[in-house]
Chain A
C-alpha cells in the first residue's frame, strides 16, 4: 500500500531547483507532487513522479544524491475537518507524522495528502480500519 517517493539533496543555491525539474523534463518524467524542506544552507527535495526508476537514474547521472523513501498517500475529504479527522486517528494510535504535503489532483471530490510516518504499516492498518482510503502506489502515479 505504500508509495515511493524520491528525495534529493540540494544545496541552497540559485537555480538548483530549476535544474532538477529540467533534468526530469528532459527524461520525460512528470512531477505529480513536490515538497522542499530546507535549512539556511541545504534542502531536501521530495518528489512523487510517474516513473521513479527513470527519474532516479537521470538525477544520479547528473551527480545528485538521490534516495527512495516509502510514503503513504491518503484520501482526505474535501470539507472542513477532513484533515483533522485523519490526524486525530493517527494521534490516538500514537503514530507520528514526520512530514506531509499535498498532492495535486486534476479531478474528483477528494484531496490527497502524502505522509511520511515513523511506523508506516501501523498507520496504514489504523487508517484502513477507520475507513480512510489509502491509495496504492501504482494508482497514485496515475492519478
Chain B
C-alpha cells in the first residue's frame, strides 16, 4: 500500500523539477526572513537567485547543530510567532537544547509524511497503534500520533514509561502496530516476560522503531522477542521529527526519503565534499516545504549511503541505508574508528549474550582504553567462574577480530547499566584531552 501514490511514485524527472522549484522558493524565503541564512549566503557570495539547477546547491554553506544552538531559542524561525502553532525541542544532553517551530501547514505536512510512513511500514486504517514514543517536547510521540489520525488508524497515546501498564494495555487492547524506540521495545519484552506474558500471545503485526541507531542483529532480536516485523523509521526534530524516511515493509531494504519534501546529500564528514550515490558518508538534509523552521544543508551527523535503484514497492524515492552510526559518536580508539552499533553486532552474534551493553573509553598513560560492560543474562550465567571468563574472552577476541581494537570486557549485573525509558546511553567517553 502507498498513501500518496502521486508523489511517492512520481517519475524522477518530475520529482526533481518539483524539488528545484521548492528549493528556490525556500532559499528566497530564508534569505529574506532569517538573518542567520542571509549572513551565511552573503559570506559565501551567493544569492538565492544563483541556484538554477539542483547541483548548484552544493555551493551553499552547511548548517550545523551549533548554529541552531547559537540562535536559541527562536532565532532560526522563518515566520512571525503569530504563525507558529507548535514548538518542540530536542533533549539537550550536551548544553543548549535546539528549539523548532511549526506552522499549521507544517503540522499538516508532517502528519501527511507520518501517514505515508506508517503505511509504508505496514499500517492500515484498520490497525490499532500502540504509540510508546514519548509525548512532549520530543517529536516522536506527537509525530506518530498525528500521522496515525491522518491515516485513520486507532492510536493509543500511551507514551513512554509506566511499562507494566503498557503490557496490560497490549494484552487487553490488542494493538497491532507498535511504535517505540528499539531499546524501549526490548525493555517492553523484558517487562512482559517478567509479568508472565509472551509477545506471542499479543497481536502485533509490525513494529516501527526509530530515534536511535540500531543494528540488523538487534532487528532480528526484536523480531524474535516481540513476534512482529520490525521496520526502521528515521527522522530528527531539526528537520521535522520522525517521517523523514522509512523502510517499506515490502522490501525492508533501505529507508525511502520523502524527496518531495527533503533533498538528501551524502558528504565526506571531514572535507564536506559531496559523495556520489552508493558511497558512505554523513547525511545532509535540506527541507524544501517547511515554513516555520526550514533547514538548508543541515548536517545530521548520521552515517549512511543513498541508493537510487527502483524499489519493488513502486516508490521512486531514493533509499538511505539503515544508519550505521553517527559521525560524532563514532569513537576513535587508538586511531581505529568504532561505532557502538558494530560492538552491538559482535555481542549479538554470541550465543546467550543480550544487547545490554555500555562502552567506556578512558585514557590511561596517554593510551585509549575501551571497556565494554555487558550485562549477565540468565542464559549466559552458568555458576562456573571459568565459563563466565570464557564469555569475557570470547567477546574480547571477537571485538579484536571484527573491529581491530582491543577491549576489556567486564561482566556486570543485570539492569546495572542505566536504561532510560527512551534512548540507551551506549557510550561514556571519559577522555578529556
Q: Which residues of A contact B (CB under 8 A)?
A: 7, 9-11, 37-39, 41-44, 46, 63-67, 69, 98, 116
Contacts and interface: CB of A to CB of B under 8 A. Distances in A.
Contacts of B427: none
26 contacts: A7-B383, A9-B388, A9-B411, A9-B413, A11-B411, A11-B412, A11-B413, A11-B416, A37-B385, A38-B385, A39-B385, A41-B410, A42-B376, A42-B412, A44-B384, A44-B385, A64-B414, A65-B376, A65-B377, A65-B378, A65-B414, A66-B378, A67-B378, A67-B381, A67-B382, A67-B383
Contact of B415 (A41, A44, A63, A98): A63
A98 B384 contact: yes
A10 B385 contact: no
Give the interface residue-count category, chain B.
10 to 19
Nearest to A16: B413
Nearest to B382: A67
B389 interface: yes
A65 B385 contact: no
Q: Is the interface of B mostly helix, strand, loop or mixed?
A: loop
B393 to A, nearest CB: 12
Given A65-B376, A65-B377, A42 B383 contact: no
Nearest to B413: A11
Contacts of A41: 410-411
B378 A69 contact: no
B165 to A, nearest CB: 19
A10 B383 contact: no
Contacts of A9: 376, 381, 388, 411, 413
Contacts of B384: 44, 98
Contact of B388 (A44, A46, A63, A98): A44
B369 to A, nearest CB: 14
B413 A64 contact: yes
